[in-house]
Homo-oligomer: A and B are copies of this chain.
């Protein structure tokens, strides 16, 4: 049993997790792995409170203190985790809204569908993000999830305004109020479709039917 053939604890850890210690200057690689693991665990557990620093570290194949080489504390880790997800949603909305040649009604429908579909594809992250936007937790304005959200919301406002200008939508609309109403409606439907699994006693139609219903109803309500 020479030293070269005896597996060490370090070897075991490497084999189990598939991780090697990062080269010098490549420490940032671990950061992304941590964020990936945190996101996966968030999906699995459904709440930030039930995901521990230790479990994230274990999933990555690293010791718990190693997390602190990349994030100041637990809050910062999960803030970054959620922001990444929100960025993807924002990107999809920009794409859906962006095609300025098409009719406004069509662009809004596509964006609304993209929004709800994103929420259904990432149900846990979506709920965590919205759950984490709690008034009491918003004391630090720099830590808000809304940076990308603000951008999307402003696009929504200007698209509705464009619809009014193009005489697709009624001219008497209070555009900002309608924008909040549309956002709220789409968000609310997304949340209900996510949670409907638990509501067996309410017979909820297919996702697509409900998505069509809310988008059609909203559009019909603001159309000329």
Given A174-B213, A214-B181, A153 and B202 contact (CB-CB distance below 8 Å) = yes
Chain B residues whose C-beta falls within 8 Å of the C-beta of A182 in the assembled complex: 217
Across the interface, name the chain B residue whose C-beta is closest to A45.
B136
Contact (Cβ within 8 A) A209 B150: no
Q: Is A68 close to B, CB under 8 A?
A: no
Chain B residues whose C-beta falls within 8 Å of the C-beta of A123 in the assembled complex: 135
Which range holds the interface residue count of chain A?
A: 35 or more
Q: Is A205 close to B, CB under 8 A?
A: yes
Q: Tell me the A135-171 residues at the B interface (CB within 8 Å).
A: 135-138, 141, 144, 146-147, 149-150, 153-154
CA distance A218 to B217 in the complex (A): 6
Contact (Cβ within 8 A) A216 B221: yes
Q: Tell me the A184-213 residues at the B interface (CB within 8 Å).
A: 184-195, 197-205, 209-210, 212-213
CA distance A205 to B181 in the complex (A): 10
CA distance A150 to B196 in the complex (A): 12
Chain B residues whose C-beta falls within 8 Å of the C-beta of A25 in the assembled complex: none
B47, B177, B204: the one within 8 Å of A134 (CB)? B47
Q: Is A71 close to B, CB under 8 A?
A: no
Contact (Cβ within 8 A) A189 B194: no
Given A177-B212, A204-B176, A131 and B133 contact (CB-CB distance below 8 Å) = no
Contact (Cβ within 8 A) B138 A197: yes
Contact (Cβ within 8 A) A217 B210: no
Contact (Cβ within 8 A) B177 A210: yes
CA distance A149 to B198 in the complex (A): 12
Q: Is A69 close to B, CB under 8 A?
A: no
Please give 19 more A-B residue pairs, beta carbons under 8 A apart, in addition to A49-B49, A135-B198, A177-B212: A45-B136, A46-B137, A130-B191, A133-B195, A137-B198, A138-B197, A174-B205, A176-B205, A180-B192, A181-B213, A184-B192, A184-B193, A185-B185, A185-B189, A188-B188, A188-B189, A188-B190, A188-B191, A216-B221
A contact set with B: CB distance below 8 Å: 45-47, 49, 123, 127, 130-131, 133-138, 141, 144, 146-147, 149-150, 153-154, 173-174, 176-178, 180-195, 197-205, 209-210, 212-214, 216-222
